[in-house]
Amino acid sequence: MAQELGHPDFETRGHRNHVSWDPAGVCVLISPWNAPLMLATWKVAPALAAGNTVVLKPSEWSPLTASLLADIAAEAGLPDGVLNVVQGIGEEAGAALVAHAGVRRISFTGSVPTAKVIARAAAANLTPLSLELGGKSPFLVFADADLDLAVANAVEQYDNAGQVCLSGTRLYVEESVRDEFVRRFLDRAGQLKQGDPRDEATDIGPSIHPDHVSRVDGFVQRAKQAGAKVLLGGGPNTDLGGLYYRPTLFTDVDPHSEIATEEVFGPVLVLHTFRDEDEVVAAANDSAFGLAAMLFTGDPERAGRVAARLVAGTVWANCFFVRDLRAPFGGARQSGIGREGGTWSFDFYCEVKNSVFAPVGWRS
């Protein structure tokens, strides 16, 4: 795609305009722990393809794959100094990198509070930022949907122990099919197997860290105290040790409560009902976030109409996580700034330049 990037020359009063994408320079890429290799490559590949040098700073909770990626790149013949990996905690290594005056681009995937700290540091040097942040994505199920398909995708929101920023953790189900949806959901979710992720029979593996399990459980216990009803799970899976949290589903939830509005980043979903399209679109958009949205309906016209109204960087209709690296990826509102993927990556990782050439022999 980088080799195909271009814009036709165009004429202005006899002068030729030529658009080019020039390398920006040193790019600092800060990747998260929840899909460490995949999300690092989403940043590293376009940054290198644009002709830049890269400093990759992985999360201190998932350092290994970044170092392995650097080793593989070196073995493949990438020149020394082109791809660099800096290990360390964010408050020290990360802070030094994003504040450095020699950095020309910063790409960060992670939490909103950390993004604000990075943005303040980058502001001193006016370093351009690309931020892919948290989400509290809505998952809409209309009465005319294929319920088996909707349920299968809803249960899939527990994937990776819920440690997925895109997850549709706010389930909105049309009232007339609510009971049947819940029945099928509980039946399917009850068959999920937690355990060692190296076992092919495992559906849900562990959380990343004991501190993260405590954070997730804090959300759940406060929701219980606030009166939310637990339909599934509701606590750690102590049979498997300290890193496993049971898939959890809440109902009777205040739509403006913490559990319904804040990103838990664990296997915790909340269930709401709705009566009509306008009501559910308004509820889905009533969020500080705007990373993704999912909708399930048997009406193609409704799918297009609702998708156009939802505030989200990505909308999936009757599917989930169909991701093409040629497509733009990012979030609205507090879910991020900018887009990466496809040509949008090169708009960020390059300095887009227009050169204007006078006709040969032209004199003023």
pLDDT tens sequence across 168-212: 999 999 999 999 999 999 999 999 999 999 999 999 999 999 999
- The pLDDT tens digits of the residues spanning 134-153 come to 999 999 999 999 999 999 99
- Annotation marks residue 165 as catalytic: yes
List the chain domain ranges. Answer: 10-133+331-357, 138-317
- In the set 27, 165, 340, 350, the catalytic residue is 165
Tell me if residue 197 falls in helix, strand or coil. Answer: coil
Residue by residue, DSSP assigns 71-92 as HHHHHTTPPTTTEEE--S-III
CA distance 117 to 54: 21
pLDDT number for residue 223: 98
pLDDT number for residue 241: 86
- Annotation marks residue 200 as catalytic: no
- The pLDDT tens digits of the residues spanning 81-118 come to 999 999 999 999 999 999 999 999 999 999 999 999 99
Question: The domain at 10-133+331-357 falls in which architecture?
Answer: 3-Layer(aba) Sandwich (3.40)
pLDDT number for residue 1: 57
Q: Which of 260, 256, 261, 297 is nearest to 174 (CA)?
A: 297
Q: Which of 133, 163, 160 is nearest to 30 (CA)?
A: 133
Enter the CATH code of domain 138-317.
3.40.309.10
3-state helix, strand, coil in the chain (%, to 5): 35, 25, 40
- In the set 60, 92, 132, 277, the catalytic residue is 132
pLDDT number for residue 96: 96
The three-point CA angle 320-326-328 to 5° equals 70
CA distance 45 to 342: 11
CA distance 280 to 274: 6
pLDDT number for residue 363: 57
Q: Running along the chain, 364 residues long, what does each successive block of 10 average in pLDDT?
A: 78 94 96 95 96 97 96 96 96 95 97 96 97 96 98 97 96 98 97 94 95 97 97 95 95 97 97 98 98 98 98 97 93 95 92 92 57
Six-digit token pair at 227?
Answer: 């009166």
